[in-house]
Amino acid sequence: MTAIPAEMAGAVQAARERVAALHAELPRWELVAWTAGNVSERVPGVAGHDDLLVIKPSGVSYDDLSPAAMVVCALDGALVEGDRSPSSDTAAHAYVYRHMPDVGGVVHTHSTYATAWAARGEEIPCVLTMMGDEFGGPIPVGPFAIIGDDSIGRGIVETLRGRRSPAVLMQNHGPFTIGRDARSAVKAAVLLEEVARTVHISRQLGAPLPIPTELVDRLYDRYQNVYGQR
């Protein structure tokens, strides 16, 4: 294990605190069961040192996820600091960070409705203004991949690169979301489950009405560049 550079210690500790707090949002929004799911955040390197990532340890209860319990890894997935094994999805998160330099946070959940769409291998069509706002179009499906190496990460990158969507439904597995930081990725995970549930219910009543692409573009631009506090 390589020690964390002194120049990065403060940033790593702050990331530990953010990531621990954000993990509490997953059960609060009913996005996970038992110990499933994970949140990570990139810690940018300084003074010639490489980026790191902070993520939850594998198989640990959400009630026990304090800042001290978080583990720190290099972007090849190697453990840098922590006394527990990293999440089994660490290789996927690390691959995303290596290949998508603008991504600062990654989240994986097994939220019920989004995972149901993933089990069918079906993208969620853009039929809600909320989807235009947050996702800029439909929620795409990524390829089937086995947990344990960076296959899932490759599928995430291949599917999301060049798209506006911060969410992908990995076939037969579940959703992954990305963001400029971990909080943004958690927000995307929460909104993904909301739209997955709503579109599913809509389809029980009839055929949802698609939103024309030009209107999706306008929704996305307004939400990303005008909405909220600047």
Full DSSP string of 54-105: EEPBTT--GGG--GGG-EEEETTS-EEE-SSPBPTTHHHHHHHHHH-TT--E
Confidence of residue 1 (pLDDT cuts 50, 70, 90): low
CB 33 within 8 A of CB 84: no
Q: What is the mean pLDDT of residues 129-135?
A: 98
Q: What is the mean pLDDT of residues 189-213?
A: 98
Domain 6-225 matching CATH 3.40.50.720: the answer reads no
Q: Is the pLDDT of residue 68 over 90?
A: yes
CB 111 within 8 A of CB 31: yes
Report pLDDT for 148: 82
Q: Is the pLDDT of residue 214 over 90?
A: yes
Q: What is the mean pLDDT of residues 141-154?
A: 94
Report pLDDT for 230: 64
User: Is 113 a residue of the active site?
Assistant: no
Distance separating alpha carbons of residues 137 and 149, to the nearest angstrom? 29
Q: What is the mean pLDDT of residues 154-163?
A: 98
Confidence of residue 210 (pLDDT cuts 50, 70, 90): very high
Question: What residues does each domain of the chain span?
Answer: 6-225
- List b or e across 207-217, with b for residues whose CB sees 16 or more CB atoms inside 10 angstroms: ebeebeeeebe
User: Is 97 a residue of the active site?
Assistant: no
Measured over the CA atoms of residue 129, residue 225, residue 139 and residue 53, the dihedral's sign is negative
CB 143 within 8 A of CB 123: no
Q: Give the predicted TM-score (pTM) of the model.
A: 0.97
CB 75 within 8 A of CB 97: yes
Token look-up 């600047």 returns 230
Task: From the candidates 51, 133, 181, 217, give the one annotated as an active-site residue.
Answer: 133
Task: From the candidates 64, 76, 149, 227, give the one annotated as an active-site residue.
Answer: 227
Distance separating alpha carbons of residues 176 and 100, to the nearest angstrom? 14
Q: Is the pLDDT of residue 149 over 90?
A: no
Q: Is the pLDDT of residue 227 over 90?
A: no
Give the count of alpha carbons within 13 A of 2, CB side only: 14
Report pLDDT for 228: 76
Residue 176, classed as helix, strand or coil, is strand
Q: What is the mean pLDDT of residues 133-139?
A: 98
Residue 146, classed as helix, strand or coil, is coil
- List b or e across 115-141, with b for residues whose CB sees 16 or more CB atoms inside 10 angstroms: bebbeeeebbbbbbeebbbbbbbbbeb
Q: What is the mean pLDDT of residues 154-165?
A: 98
